[in-house]
Each structure stands twice: as structure tokens, then as C-alpha cells.
Structure 1
């Protein structure tokens, strides 16, 4: 394993951390992804089932990239504009995470997609990390690959500063980001990048140990962790965690790691929001991408549910399905469980994100 690296126009905090837990059972190797999402409490979180063959739109006005999805996928979408967490039918999965240093550069003549569509674009078109890297990671310093990632207008006053973390069934990981001062796409690809936090300074530790030490010197260990400390905790967990030989224990193990880095709904001073990037966790999500299994867990109510992508019709021409989290209620007697039957076919009034026929310029 290797370390991978405000209240005015709030930055969109889409994650504290992401971890991929690997377990080898009797039949095959399973990878379970777990993540947290912080801040953004009223984000109209919706889970979508996208069959193959959907005509897509880049979500921007000038020179938008348009494409037709090759693979079916399921995606958690916030504000109906931002792809947050998902997996496709081939087992390529990904997360959009907050990256305060994001800088996508000036708009040029390339076809583009909004930062909110970025993750969905990869799940629509590729089945492995290798394919994404081969087609989109620059091979030379100043090389510009298509499409250009465009930072769209803030969503509800919240800026979309994102980077993308991808993983596949081959055990490969890829982190893609645009940061200052280069303002170009950077790719970090390795089978060791199984833990990612919501910022990049952990990727610069070899060059910034003195700065990191100044930030933590003299601070009581009992204080709530800063983002890089949450990363350290996940890194430690995933390195030393006991192996699981069945799906149930692997899922529970991943849940335990993610719950160990979440921030409960405590009163947090605005200065700590700004200086220490501390925000209450809103929800957690877990995925077994080899089986398309998705498990959602709220951090503000006892609500939890699950479903499998393979239980839906995914061929071209099949219905697009959706499930809005705000429509789900916790059943204190029976829990929630499998919500496959709760997904409904999208209606005429449902705005389908990233779909060419539904694009509305903002």
C-alpha cells in the first residue's frame, strides 16, 4: 500500500475517505468499496439504474461532448447533476471526491464535460482502469487529452471541486485530478492506491513533512482528526485488518473501517469547518462490484438499504429506473433491506441527469 495522496461559496465536500477492501474467498477475489460523504445535507440524493445505449450530454453549453453509453451502470447522483458513486456492469467502479486544490484551467476548443458528469463518462465507456488510463491519461507533460473537464456553475452555492478515484476487478486503482499550478490532468495508477482521502496533501508528504508536523505538533491526540488523519486511520485499518473468507464478513469489515472515520453530528465551530475541513458525515455507501451489490447507510437516520445491479434489465432499450432517498422511510419494525422493487421507471417529469434529451443549460 502507498499513501495517496469557506463558508463563502462553499466547496462541495463529497467525501472524507474511500477504501477498497480485498478478500479472497473460495470461489474468487472480491473487492468491496466503502466511502463516506460529508456536508451537503439536502442534496436530493437519487440512485439511478442506467441501461446501456443511453445518449449522453456533457452538461455544458459550449462544445459539449456527446456519446452513447456502452455499458449499463448504477449511480448515486446529488443535485441531479453530480455523479458521486457508482459501478458498471463490467465491475469498473468509481467515486467523485472533494479536492480543494482543483483547477481545471481555461476553456479551450476541446469537447468538454462538466466535472459532475466526469465519473459517469468513464463508467459508460470503459470496463477497466487500464482502458481509462490508456485513453485519457497524458503520456507527455503538456499533452491535452479529450474530453476537457469543465467546472460548471456552483450547485446551490456549492462549488464543484472534484477528483475521481476508479477501481476494477483486476485490483487496479486510478486517481485522476486537475490541480494548480499546472492545471492539467494528473493520473496516479497503482495496485496499491486502495485508500484515498478528500484532498491531495497526503500525496505530497515526502516533500512536506515539516509542514504536516507544524500542523499537528502540540495538538492533543484526543481532538477530532483532520482529513489526512482520517486517511491514516483508514490506511492503518486496511493494512492490518483481518482477512475475510466470505461476503458477509467482508462487508461488515468494510463497514467497520468506514464507520471508524465518519464524523458524527456534533456541534462544529465554523473555524474548524474552514481550517480543519470538519463536516458531519451524511451517508456511507458500500459496493461489491463483482456482483453489482450496493449498500447505502444514512448517518443521520437509521435508514439503510441495498440492491443488486444485476437484478435489473440492463440491455439497450430497457427502462431507466430511479430511487430517491428522501422518499424512503426507516421501518423500525422490519428495517428496509432490499429495495429493488422500490425503484420506479422514470416518468415524463423526471429529469434524467447526463442524458442528451434532458440537458437544460444553467
Structure 2
């Protein structure tokens, strides 16, 4: 694991969901972080037993659905898609506050938050209805370097529905609807929407904010999403999404001392919900590669499968047949 020193960790990402005709739904995101997070891809079968990695009263469950995910440090699910076409994306939110630990509630390490959703739900509506009841409390592990993560979660499904989950002042806040197609980082999501409305009123085609700040990325992503061609062609829709995600990516070397919501883009993913194809592009690699869900050898109750990315070969094309059986990783454990 990498060691972080001198500043809070920054997970300053962007996420966009595109809706086209004939149920063509595509979600893209950038992963922005100040140091390598040693990302590898994993394929998990239905029937995988999970432990929420809380110190006291840890949440446990068995996955209902298979999934393909991108893991940080082989200890946290940061992004992924499940067999029903549900996509989950974790992004940085420095103002997140998960409240004081209530040990009467099952605890779930935030490293497993996205995986819990992918394991248990087929649609955004199903996830919102279940998570609104707060069946667990998120607990925070230590990241390498001794820091605790501050994150919010975006999910989208094969109908184009979206939801944003944030914990502010210890309370869960949910934004649910097809209109919530773009998310970045600071400030809280309601303020992101207000800032975007302001820029829509004064900017239009004449002026778009161009910095790497999350509010500026939100505006650009929203604008270019509106400009994207509405097509049922999966090649064109995926290409449109990559063009938007690259536009809001942060250049290598871009960091601001004391601004944890700005960090260079390490990789990008694009998920085709309809055809269940998960695309991956590392900033340091010349190639885009992808995983066709139907071609991954994950049978219910079978072994987990791993594809090395960080220290692996340079992949290209469909890599579904290149996953190898591996022991399921444990989520980063909470410290309290």
C-alpha cells in the first residue's frame, strides 16, 4: 500500500450518466487520487459471503448478484457494475459526516459500501427504498498514511435512474431521480445543483468554467452531456461518454495544497448498462480494454476472479477470459 503524508487524501472524481434511445444507458467516471491506489479488477459471483469489517457488530450478507468491480488496494470496492446492470461509483466528499458510532446498529466499512449495493440490488429504486431505512451504519477504516475516507455514493441502473447518497451532519441525504446524472465533489450535492443552475443562466455556449475545481467540472460535464448525440448505437454512446469523462479529467501533476478535492486522474471507467460491458482506461496506458459480463466465468457459489491491472500486462480489447481465480479480498477494517 502507498503511504500518504502531509495532506488529507484526495479522491476528487467525476461521474456522468447518459441516456439514449432504446434503453441505451451509459455511466462514466474518472478516478482522481494523489497517489496510486493499486487498482485491479475483480469479478465476484452470486453467493459470495461478506463481512462489513466493523470492529463491533459487523454487518454480514451473502451476495444475490454477481459483479465486476475496480478495487483500491485489493481492499475496497470503488466502482463497478452488477449482473442486472446496476452501477455504483464512490467519489470524494470532504464535508461528509457519518455521525457517532451506534453499536446497536450493524457496522459497514465504507470500503464495502459500493459492493453492498452491487451485491443486493437490481435497480436504483430498490436500493433507495432499502437504504433509506438505514440498515447499517457506515464506519471508517484508516487509509494508508493514517487518514480516514470521506465519500459519497452515486448509483445508476439500466433504466437511466440515478441516486446520490451523502451523509451530512450525521444524517443520510438521498437525491433520487433521472435528473441527477452528474456528480463531482465539493460542495454538497444540493449546492452543486445550485452552482450548475447559475452557470446555465450566465454561461451557455459563450462561457464554461475551465479549471479542475469540482464545481467547474460539474458544469462542464452537465453541458457536454446535454450536447452528446442521442443514439442507440453502443459504440457511439460509449465514445460520447469517454469524450465527456476525458474533458473533466484532471491533468497529471495537478494538485493544490490544502485542496483535497483536486488530484490527477488515474483512470476512467465507462459502463454500458444495457449490454453489460465495463470499460477501463488507465491514464498511463495507451489502451482502453473492457469486460463483457456474459463472457466472465463467474458461476453462483464459484470462486472470485481477479484481473491484475496495476502491476499486470498492458491489456487491450475484451479481457473477460483473462481473469484468474483468487481469494475474495477483505474490506479495509474500521478502527472504531
Relative to the length of structure 2, the TM-score reads 0.88
How big is the shift at 1:201? 3.9
How big is the shift at 1:57? 0.3
After superposition, give the CA deviation of every residue in 1:189-246 in whole Å (9 maximum; x if it has no partner): 011001111233452268789x99xxxxxxx988633110100000001112222231
Aligned to 2:329: 352
After superposition, give the CA deviation of every residue in 1:319-340 in whole Å (9 maximum; x if it has no partner): 210012123333xxxx721212
Tell me, in whole angstroms, the C-alpha distance in 2 between the residues paired with 1:238 and 1:84. Answer: 23
Alignment pair present for 1:76 and 2:70: yes
Alignment pair present for 1:315 and 2:309: no
RMSD: 2.6
Three-state SS of the structure 1 residue aligned to 2:20 is strand
Tell me, in whole angstroms, the C-alpha distance in 1 between the residues paired with 2:186 and 2:36. Answer: 23
Tell me, in whole angstroms, the C-alpha distance in 2 between the residues paired with 1:225 and 1:325. Answer: 26
Tell me, in whole angstroms, the C-alpha distance in 1 between the residues paired with 2:265 and 2:292. Answer: 24
Aligned positions, number: 323
Query: 322, 326, 333: which is aligned to 1:342?
Result: 322
Tell me, in whole angstroms, the C-alpha distance in 1 between the residues paired with 2:278 and 2:24. Answer: 14
Tell me, in whole angstroms, the C-alpha distance in 1 between the residues paired with 2:193 and 2:298. Answer: 45
Alignment pair present for 1:288 and 2:267: no
How big is the shift at 1:249? 0.7
Relative to the length of structure 1, the TM-score reads 0.82
Does the CA-based 8 Å contact 1:112-1:146 persist in structure 2?
no
Query: 221, 224, 228: which is aligned to 1:241?
Result: 228
Does the CA-based 8 Å contact 1:79-1:155 persist in structure 2?
no
Does the CA-based 8 Å contact 1:129-1:168 persist in structure 2?
yes
Change (3 A) 1:197 1:360: closer
Aligned to 2:217: 230
Structure 1, unmatched stretches of 5+, are 1-5, 139-144, 213-219
Structure 2, unmatched stretches of 5+, are 200-206
Three-state SS of the structure 1 residue aligned to 2:258 is helix
Of stretches 290-299 and 252-261 in structure 1, the one that deviates more from structure 2 is: 290-299
